[in-house]
Structure 1
Amino acid sequence: MGLLLATGDPRFRDTARAALERAGHDVLAGVAGTALRDDTALAILDAGPGIARCRAIRAGPHPELPIILLTTSGHERIRGLEAGADDCIDPAAGPYELTLRVTAVLRRTHPAVLRDGRIALCPQARSVAVDTVPVQLTPREFDLLEFLLRHPESVFSREQLLAQVWGWDFGDLSTVTVHVKRLRAKLGDQHRLDTVWGRGYAWGAAPSREMRSA
């Protein structure tokens, strides 16, 4: 996930960035005032300027953005939590503990999401987005996409999809064909729903767009 690490301590910034990247995060490291990116999933800020920024974020267009403040002061910790921070940590605790705190906050604030390329599907919220832009799917279109994302590279016949997704032992196979066509149209050039002639459908898996769960 994309993280913003904004701190005036260059030594801590470098070590924390390295630890977070080893944990699989995409880190934008900078100083106070470094702008959020569209894909920022969590911000780590120095408590001094970060408290005011925390209030601004909570009042702005991304009020749910998780925020961790870096502080050695108990007073700043209280002020930060009052301003809406999700957690506070003393930088002296080290980059490993920071990584654990980031994981814990993300677990609380980001339900498990299935990702493939620029597609993100959240089973809990039953939402789908491409490049953070919501895609409106019918309940059955959503179920079909989730099933395929969970089984990349596997080929399913229309009969199998009718049974697995619809829960039907028999029915009009054209129902599957119609839903596949609609999914492709709604996902545009981000879909990888391939027709395997004579066998059925599969969600492909190109090496550059590895299927993952986050």
Structure 2
Amino acid sequence: MVRHLSQDGYAVSIALSSQEALSAAADSPPDLVILHLGLPDLDAVGVVQQLREQGDVPLIMVSPTSQERDRIFWLNVGADDVLPPPFSPVELAARVRSVLRRTKAPAASHSEDRDSGGAVSVDVSDHTAHVLGRGVTLTALEARLLQFFVRHPDEALTRQRLLEEVWGFTFGDTTTVTVHVRRIREKIEPDPATPCFIKTVWGVGYLYDPAGGGGRSPLHLRKG
């Protein structure tokens, strides 16, 4: 894995313990972290939580299992993506390129960073949103996902399309989309159990309703 990434031109640093990883990230903030969950004596939960406290560095977890519940757990802890076995170095490199392309994109103007739709506004430059006048703090990925919803109001969006448009992945498990949507709902919805802004469209995916419940029925909308 390290050899393949190095051959692709990336400068790769290796840490074999929790403390070593956190110290290295604090001394020289990386552009991206790949955390292998199969390493011995690695407090992965603590590493993820402290990395999130230090900043918003993109984080890809390499899992030793393919269990969906494990992927959901690590996404909930704070990972941007979880790569289960079996996977090839080519797939990992493709995901790394996609994440870095997204996070290293040229800065947009402030007006392009900010979007508003109904009661929800989002600013991807500072990872915040305002919902009915209430301020909400988001991760960088949550902000981009919410921005995509706000830019496509009243449109039924498939999980696969969201994975491609927001994450930049043309393949992979859409579980990460489901978990990130749930995270956003917990932050912006008055009642996350019965969402009024980001609604589930059964058999399709999700729909952003700028009216917060007063918009058109998803049954009459085009599929994205």
Above 0.5 in TM-score?
no
Q: Judging by fraction of residues, say which structure has more strand.
A: 1
TM-score bracket, normalised by the shorter chain, equals: 0.3 to 0.5
Taking structure 2 as the reference length, what is the TM-score of the superposition? 0.40
Taking structure 1 as the reference length, what is the TM-score of the superposition? 0.41
